[in-house]
């Protein structure tokens, strides 16, 4: 009976994860892309310019699968075009391409993902309005697309239709592309910005367009987010800084006055993430709380009002929020619980179906649209059968703790279908699973004539 129950629970777990659990989510201005645990790609929301990549230009108010590939590693949704990076390091783009922003040497839109060049060393990519920015594994910076307003940072007003390297530096570590301006962080924590600057969104103390990466007077930058016309950053000390357009209070500095230099928001030093793609902002603290401010015309702040806020306001009292993302006029966040890996919550504008709830009705409070129950994950970290595997889920290394005197002779890793994907002897009590696609796996431990199987999730 126990075996049958465990089997049924395992099947239920697999079905639930494959059906509803997202490991990565990215929101553009009015559409959303997400990767599931099995490495498949999904999208919903505005699709008038094929930015979902599902082969149509029809809006979707529920998630739809994009193609059949199951090796997606990263995704980024822009205003009207999108990108994904696969586990093999290749770059793929889809959506609007009138300015060459897909980087495939054409100006032809694509309603399905198309590979951009042949490089297999892309680290990250960020789609802006009509331009794109990328970083390769060697720390080099690349841009493409644009309409000659400085958004490429190549020192000219010349657009390109293929990724073009910017400068010779090899110490770029993070990027963020906005509507017409962009930023990149170097390994030393310094920040460079370029592009249109009419509202001070580049943050260099002027309102003059910058055609090359320009040093911004802020140090120890850990995270950067470029919104429609304003910018946000978190420093290594956990402080929050904003600058640029502020008519809706999206800077959060208790004014509606635009700023052309980074301005510290409040005195708190426990901010861990920040997000924006429009005229409102959202951030999370290390307490697991979420905070929003700025434009609230469609309820995108999630405080059950339609009133703009000019300082960060906590949404509810929950302390189990993760992965907070602000789109153009809507927001998303995941919440976790003791028996729930994550629930996807959405709120704000829903005119294109971007809330993924099957309707086109706006919501002014976080509303659960998908939940994935992981009732057995706690069991997988137990000492049952004399072995403990941790951490679970894992990103890169899976540790095996042998709680008995039995010798481990061999370890196999099986995918959800039961196929062996890795096998061999174990010399150390850990396994590098970094190269495995995201998904559910079974760790098969052969020990002194016995076989023990442990389930784990690769994020």
- Go through the domains of the chain in sequence order and give each one's CATH number: 2-373 (2.130.10.30), 388-458 (2.60.40.1930)
- What is the per-residue pLDDT for 136? 98
Sequence-distant (≥ 6) Cβ neighbours of residue 116 within 8 angstroms: 83, 90, 91, 92, 93, 102, 103, 104, 163
What's the pLDDT at 416? 66
**What is the average pLDDT across 211-234?**
98
Q: Is the pLDDT of residue 73 over 80?
A: yes
Going by C-beta distance under 8 Å and a sequence separation of 6 or more, which residues neighbour residue 383?
A: 403
Of 441 and 248, which is predicted with more confidence? 248
Confidence of residue 9 (pLDDT cuts 50, 70, 90): very low
pLDDT tens digits, one per residue of 136-181: 999 999 999 998 889 999 999 999 999 999 999 999 999 999 999 9
CA pair distance 248, 244, nearest whole angstrom: 11
Can you tell me the mean pLDDT for 178-200?
98
Q: So what's the pLDDT on residue 428? A: 56
Rounded (10°) CA dihedral 316, 318, 324, 330: -30
pLDDT at 373: 56
What is the pLDDT confidence band of residue 427, given thresholds at 50, 70 and 90? low
How many angstroms separate the CA atoms of 82 and 80, rounded?
Answer: 7
CA distances from 381 to 21, 156, 376, 394, 398 (A): 20, 56, 9, 12, 11
Report d(CA 352, CA 215) in Å as an integer: 38
The model's confidence at residue 33, banded by pLDDT at 50, 70 and 90, is very high
Neighbours of 455 (CB within 10 A): 20
Is pLDDT at 13 greater than 60 in this prediction?
A: no
Instruction: Point out the least confidently predicted range of 105-114, 159-168, 310-319, 413-422.
Output: 413-422
**Mean pLDDT, the chain, as a whole number?**
89
Highest mean pLDDT among 303-312, 410-419, 446-455: 303-312
Max intra-chain CA distance, the chain: 73
pLDDT computed for residue 6 by the predictor? 43
* Average pLDDT for 257-270: 98
Instruction: State the pLDDT at residue 442.
Output: 81
Residue 366 reports pLDDT greater than 80? yes
For residue 417, the model assigns a pLDDT of 62
38-49 average pLDDT score: 95
Please say if the pLDDT value at position 369 is more than 70. yes
3-state secondary structure at position 207 = coil
- The C-alpha atoms of residue 94 and residue 24 are separated, in whole angstroms, by 18
Q: From residue 152, how far is each of 128, 155, 186 by CA, in Å?
A: 10, 8, 17
- Judged by average pLDDT, the poorest of 25-29, 86-90, 213-217, 428-432 is 428-432
User: What confidence score (pLDDT) does residue 4 get?
Assistant: 39
- Range 377-397 average pLDDT: 61
With pLDDT > 70 as the criterion, what percentage of the chain qualifies?
Answer: 89
């Amino acid at each position: 009976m126990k075996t049958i129950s465990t089997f049924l629970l395992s099947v239920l777990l697999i079905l639930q994860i494959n059906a509803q659990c997202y490991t990565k989510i990215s929101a553009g201005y009015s559409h959303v892309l997400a990767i599931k645990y099995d490495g498949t790609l999904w999208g919903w929301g505005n699709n008038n310019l094929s930015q979902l990549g599902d082969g149509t230009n029809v809006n979707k108010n529920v998630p739809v699968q994009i193609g059949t590939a199951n090796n997606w590693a990263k995704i980024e949704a822009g205003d009207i075009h999108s990108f994904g990076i696969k586990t093999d390091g290749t770059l793929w783009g889809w959506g609007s391409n009138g300015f060459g922003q897909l980087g495939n040497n054409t100006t032809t839109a694509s309603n399905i993902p198309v590979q951009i060049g042949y490089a297999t060393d892309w680290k990250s990519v960020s789609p802006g309005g009509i331009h794109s920015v990328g970083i390769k594994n060697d720390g080099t910076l690349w841009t493409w697309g644009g309409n000659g307003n400085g958004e490429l940072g190549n020192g000219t007003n010349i657009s390109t239709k293929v990724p073009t390297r910017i400068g010779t530096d090899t110490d770029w570590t993070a990027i963020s592309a906005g509507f017409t301006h962009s930023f990149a962080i170097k390994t030393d924590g310094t920040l460079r910005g370029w592009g249109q600057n009419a509202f001070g969104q580049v943050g260099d103390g002027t309102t003059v367009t910058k055609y090359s990466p320009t040093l911004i007077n802020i140090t120890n930058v850990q995270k950067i987010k470029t919104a429609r016309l304003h910018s946000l950053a978190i420093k290594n000390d956990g402080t929050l800084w904003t600058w640029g357009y502020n008519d809706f209070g999206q800077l959060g500095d208790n004014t509606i006055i635009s700023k052309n230099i980074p301005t510290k928001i409040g005195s708190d030093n426990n901010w861990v993430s920040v997000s924006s793609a429009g005229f409102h902002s959202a951030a999370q603290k290390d307490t697991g709380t979420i905070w929003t401010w700025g434009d609230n015309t469609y309820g995108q702040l999630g405080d059950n009002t339609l009133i703009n806020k000019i300082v960060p306001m906590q949404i509810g009292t929950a302390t189990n929020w993760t992965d907070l993302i602000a789109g153009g006029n809507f927001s998303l966040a995941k919440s976790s619980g003791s028996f729930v890996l994550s629930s996807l919550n959405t709120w704000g504008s829903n005119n294109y179906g971007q809330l993924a709830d099957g309707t086109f009705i706006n919501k002014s409070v976080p509303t659960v649209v998908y939940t994935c129950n992981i009732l057995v994950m706690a069991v997988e970290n137990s000492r049952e059968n004399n072995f403990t595997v941790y951490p679970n889920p894992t990103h890169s290394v899976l540790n095996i703790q042998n709680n008995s005197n039995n010798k481990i002779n061999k370890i196999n890793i099986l995918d959800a279908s039961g196929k062996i994907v890795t096998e061999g002897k174990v010399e150390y009590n850990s396994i590098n699973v970094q190269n495995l696609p995201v998904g559910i796996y079974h760790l098969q431990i052969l020990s002194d004539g016995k076989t023990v199987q442990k389930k784990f999730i690769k994020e």
